Amino acid sequence: MTQTLTIARPDDWHLHLRDGAMLQAVLPETARHFARAIIMPNLVPPVVTGADATAYRDRILAALPDGMAFEPLMTLYLTEDTDPADVEAAAATGLIKALKLYPAGATTNSASGVSNFDNVRPVLEKMAEIGLPLCVHGEVTDNDIDIFDREAVFIDRVLDPIRKATPGLKVVMEHITTKDGVDYVKSNAENLGATITTHHLIINRNHILVGGIKPHYYCLPVAKRESHRIALREAATSGDARFFLGTDSAPHTDPNKLSACGCAGCFTATNTMALLAHVFEEDGALDKLEGFASKNGPSFYGLPVNTSTLTLTKSDSATSFPGKIDTPDGSVTVFDPGFPVHWDVA
Ligand code: NCD
Ligand code: ZN
């Protein structure tokens, strides 16, 4: 028996597309299912000015295969040198939809991130004034903080003070991984949303570490204990409009993942929508999938919901997803949920 579900075409509110050959290889995986995506600026060197964002957007559009429609929603990487006037100009033309805050050293290519938050206050004030959201990688990087506590400590030490000092600033807590993150969003009515990844709805830290180390499940923020995964599932499937999909699909080649110092990132662009249908059905919340993947994000960003649609089908036989995407730089392994999935995009 085949079951179908048609939803407004989804968007991805946190995506890594990289550049060059990798961009060319991974872009179709997203554009096949998603109408738009918030494009992370952590290239080497990072996308820091309006001019950088224009050039990167043009490279993305040039890499888009003929016949595919996709709108990249550009972001700038917030540094201590970011110029409020450049931000204002890039937002006024509609080029950029957010700024991205990486605490220095938090994750892949974050060396240019912010160390002293006082130095970015004028930019944050400007963003609050013009309604431009700040996307936040919410982890402290202090050596004395346990990696599993980095998100909770960030909320207390960095995020809450920033939000109090800059009332009116719209903030997206990206790829939340803890019940602390869920609770912080729920307890703050104004100007705060959170993205949740597909993989954090599926794996906990045991999946990474039990029975041998699984580098393809390693990403940042790292998956936490099961009680946190359950809190994320409840938030995503609740229908609460403050939670929406940001896959954080982050391609790294297999040699870079399967190394003595492996890169952080799960590549989920290919099978995210099928996996989400599985997850939402398992929680008796298929009717909430459209809100999470297609409606809550546009509502937070003040953008229209896509008028085109995406249809998912469920069949008796398990879906076979490609194990890898080939790129000239090397293969990229597609996230394996570890259980059979019967949903697929029609
Ligand atoms: C991202 C990447 O590879 O760029 N990695 C990840 O584990 N999510 C960076 C990030 O978003 O933290
Ligand atoms: Zn990311």
Q: Per-residue pLDDT for the chain (346 aa), expressed as one digit of tens each?
A: 689 999 999 999 999 999 999 999 999 999 999 999 999 999 999 999 999 999 999 999 999 999 999 999 999 999 999 999 999 999 999 999 999 999 888 777 777 888 888 899 999 999 999 999 999 999 998 999 999 999 999 999 999 999 999 999 999 999 999 999 999 999 987 899 999 999 999 999 999 999 999 999 999 999 999 999 999 999 999 999 999 999 999 999 999 999 999 999 999 999 999 999 999 999 999 999 999 999 999 999 999 999 999 999 999 999 999 999 999 999 999 999 999 999 999 9
Q: Looking at residue 2, what is its pLDDT? A: 80
Residue 256's H or E segment, with its range, is helix 254-257
306: its two tokens: 């896509």
CA of 200 to the centre of ligand 2 (A): 13
DSSP 190-234: SSEEEEE-SGGGT--HHHHHTTS--GGG--SSPP--HHHHHHHHH
Strand partners, 314: 3, 343
Distance from residue 223's CA to the centre of ligand 2 (Å) = 14
pLDDT of residue 107: 74
Q: Does domain 3-345 have CATH number 3.20.20.140?
A: yes
Question: Of the residues 176, 208, 220, which should be mutated to test ligand 1's pocket, given the most ligand atoms within 8 Å of the CB?
Answer: 220
Q: 256 and 263 in contact (C-beta within 8 Å)?
A: yes
Strand order of the sheet with strand 3-8? 3-8, 309-314, 343-345
Distance between CA 170 and CA 101 in Å, rounded?
A: 13
Residue 106 confidence (pLDDT): 76
Nearest CA to ligand 1 atom 4: 108
| pLDDT reported for residue 156 | 96
pLDDT computed for residue 105 by the predictor: 80
CA atoms within 13 A on the CB side of 291: 14
Mutate to test the pocket of ligand 1, among 40, 77, 107 (most ligand atoms within 8 A of CB): 107
- CA 150/CA 327 separation, integer angstroms: 33
Alpha-carbon distance of 280 to 189, in angstroms, equals 25
Q: Would the CA dihedral through 20, 23, 24, 25 be positive or negative?
A: positive
Is residue 9 a contact partner of residue 35, using CB atoms and an 8 Å limit?
A: yes
| Nearest CA-CA partner of 252 in 302, 166, 327, 196 | 327
Domain regions of the chain by residue span: 3-345
Ligand 1 neighbours, Cβ below 6 Å, are 16, 42, 107-108, 137, 219-220, 248, 250, 264-265
